[in-house]
Structure 1
């Protein structure tokens, strides 16, 4: 009986450290997953905002006539 008690007493600290390590690693993995989900959500929102801005106001490009008469361009008076 003394032998089993000695074995259990010897294993308890190792089991405790193993459980502690497992809980810490589980927390790290969950935090990483939540961070990746949050970053993906932010990326989706930014992409939607860029798409909405591009549709709402297309780029203003001057017509050929406007470029020819713009001040400082060759051929303008």
Structure 2
């Protein structure tokens, strides 16, 4: 039993550290996906505007 009492704080800190790193990793992954989607929308919009033919002023 004394071994468990001495190892328990280390185990708890390791689990908290693991959860925090996992959360940060998930947030980073979500942010990268959102940024890629926004960049794709910007590129589509820019490509669409480049392909418009200008109207002739008569």
Which runs of structure 2 are paired with 1:19-58 in the superposition (5 Å)? 19-57=15-53
User: Bigger relative contact order, structure 1 or 2, given CA contacts below 8 A and separation 6+?
Assistant: 1
With 18-27 and 49-58 compared, the bigger mean Cα shift is at 49-58
| Displacement of 1:46 | 0.1
Say which structure is richer in helix. 2
- Please say which structure displays the higher CA radius of gyration: 1
Q: Report the secondary structure of 2:51's partner residue.
A: helix
Instruction: Kindly report the root-mean-square deviation, in angstroms, between the aligned alpha carbons of the 2 structures.
Output: 0.9
TM-score by length of 1: 0.67
